[in-house]
Structure 1
Amino acid sequence: MFKAVAGLNAYNRSAAADDPVNLFGYNLDVNALYYPGEHGYMFISKFDYLKINDSDFLNFGMIHGRVNFLRERKVNYETFIQYSYDNFRGLYPRWIAGGSVRHNFIKSEKFSFLFGVGGMYEFEKWQIPNEDQFVEVSFLKSSNYISLRATLNEFVDFNMVNYYQVGYDKSISGFRHRVSNSTILNTKLTEKFSLTNTFEISYEDKPIVPITKMIYAFKTGLSINF
């Protein structure tokens, strides 16, 4: 299965005749699933860009690859790797690689509930706000999640994933916690087109550099299924 969601924004507006504001932005999500047999292969990518006049206001991207071994069994396994960047917040970049044990607690044609327990290695490079200095860190972390999927009717399906990641940082003699949620409501319009609403939120109790602890985003887009 291949799925793409895209959005585009471009306009010019101004509060003063001599001070125009030009805005250009886009978002693009591309997901692919491949199930040739007892194993599953997943590719997820997200890109968000927003430019105001000549300045890049938002520039975020993420590429994620995952392999699920023995996926039809109640207890199965997976490995993953991820690359991401968030230039507006000063992340250049983040690398993640790890694995987990998944437990299909409930699985049916219209409803599934599962959880995964695992670990990962994480590398990050951050720019200190308003400075030219960078900080590089790497951690071994516990990485766990709960996933809920439900088909509400023949037109609407719901998907929610909650992550909890924690690792010990010797430099602060303490743990760094990260909690995140991704909720997607998909409404089928035709056999190929759907309206996709996505809400994402993430919280880190001890950011590496002094930035906002909680970030969130809401997006609506038209998705194409192949």
Structure 2
Amino acid sequence: MFRLIVFSLLMCLPVITRAQIIYSESFVLTPPDSTQPYRGSVSGSFMSQKQKDIFFQLNQRADFAMRIKHASLILANNFDIIRNGNQTVLSGGFAYAKLRRFVERNIMPEYFAQYQWFDIRGLDQRMVLGSNMRFKILHTKTDAFYLATGTMLEYEKWNYNAVPEHRLPVTTSPKEILAPKWNIYASFDHDLTKNILLDAGFYYQTRMLPAFEYTRIANHLRIGWKVNKHIMLSGVIRIIYEYKPIVPVDPWWYRVSNELTYRF
């Protein structure tokens, strides 16, 4: 009960994003053959130092999965902020929810919603509602492989803060987009040893009309070391390529990080 209370308090904190795509398959999951009613993880970091101005950095991430009879509810959030004096260098975050039904079957429907922003790249806000059919390709004690495909409705609002000066158009008013999209992802988990875990995900999103334009492709790769039952140290790389960005930002984005996570 104490862990649930702590987690609930952390989930109420402000939330932030890694980029335009949320890496949903990197969240903690409750396996379909597990009798455990819930699982979760919490990680965070804080740094403050005096330079010419006060430099401040805060990161918080939490995710939670709960079995409800034949369904699974997944909640997640993330918050990042970096400030140098009165200037915000980085700000972004997300709130994410997904409901999977009939999780013990080989084919299961899932429904998801998310809200996010990523100031440093110019994404003021992004809202998504969607649904997928998820296919269980492989599930053993040491390996899991899933594929999913579906549709989603996406709203985005972009500014030109991250656009290089030589690419700026004459008019730099914010751009808003509302469009249906196809959504495909694949996820793979593998226990390299008893204490070393690997998980990877591939994500593909594209507008329906015009077909295969304004496409986003992303992947993540994580290798984690279980220090003990509850503590994990991980190294993670996340990459996004965006074909025809809404505003002319750099189409490539990546982040390499390490995480110390408490799992329950």
> TM over 0.5, yes or no?
yes
Residue 156, structure 1, aligned to residue 156, structure 2: no
Which aligned runs of 4 or more in structure 1 are off by greater than 4 angstroms?
none
In structure 1, distance between residues paired with 2:218 and 2:142: 25
Contact 1:118 1:142 in 2 (8 A): yes
Q: Name the amino acid aligned to 1:109.
A: K
Residue 49, structure 1, aligned to residue 49, structure 2: no
TM-score by length of 2: 0.78
Q: Name the amino acid aligned to 2:190.
A: A
Tell me the equivalent position of 2:223.
185
Residue 195, structure 1, aligned to residue 233, structure 2: yes
Partner SS for 1:88:
helix
Tell me the equivalent position of 2:108.
76
Residue among 153, 156, 159 paired with 1:124: 156
Q: What 5-or-longer segments of structure 2 have no aligned partner?
A: 1-38, 164-170
Tell me the equivalent position of 2:4.
none
State the identity %.
22
In structure 1, distance between residues paired with 2:159 and 2:153: 20
Q: Displacement, 1:169?
A: 5.3
Between Structure 1 and Structure 2, the one with more helix by share is 2
Q: Displacement, 1:63?
A: 1.2
Q: Where do residues 50-129 of structure 1 align in structure 2 (5 Å cutoff)? A: 50-129=82-161
Q: Displacement, 1:23?
A: 2.1
Q: What 5-or-longer segments of structure 1 have no aligned partner?
A: 14-19
Q: Displacement, 1:196?
A: 2.2
In structure 1, distance between residues paired with 2:137 and 2:40: 26
Tell me the equivalent position of 1:17.
none
Q: Displacement, 1:9?
A: 2.7
In structure 1, distance between residues paired with 2:158 and 2:186: 28
In structure 2, distance between residues paired with 1:125 and 1:135: 6
How many correspondences in the alignment? 218
Counterparts in 2 of 1:25 and 1:169: CA distance versus 1, 3 Å = farther
Relative to structure 2, which stretch is displaced further, 98-107 or 195-204?
Answer: 195-204
Between Structure 1 and Structure 2, the one with more strand by share is 1
Residue 217, structure 1, aligned to residue 249, structure 2: no
Partner SS for 1:191:
coil
Contact 2:145 2:186 in 1 (8 A): yes
Residue 27, structure 1, aligned to residue 59, structure 2: yes
Relative to structure 2, which stretch is displaced further, 44-53 or 87-96?
Answer: 44-53
Q: Displacement, 1:21?
A: 5.2
Q: Displacement, 1:74?
A: 0.8
Q: Name the amino acid aligned to 1:148.
A: F
TM-score by length of 1: 0.90
In structure 2, distance between residues paired with 1:84 and 1:11: 28
Q: Name the amino acid aligned to 1:98.
A: G
Partner SS for 1:175:
coil
Q: Displacement, 1:132?
A: 6.3
Contact 1:169 1:176 in 2 (8 A): no
Counterparts in 2 of 1:57 and 1:111: CA distance versus 1, 3 Å = same
Contact 1:168 1:176 in 2 (8 A): no
**1:40-82 CA distances to partner (integer Å, 9 max, x unpaired)?**
1111212111112321111010111101111111111101001
Q: Displacement, 1:12?
A: 3.5
Residue 9, structure 1, aligned to residue 41, structure 2: no
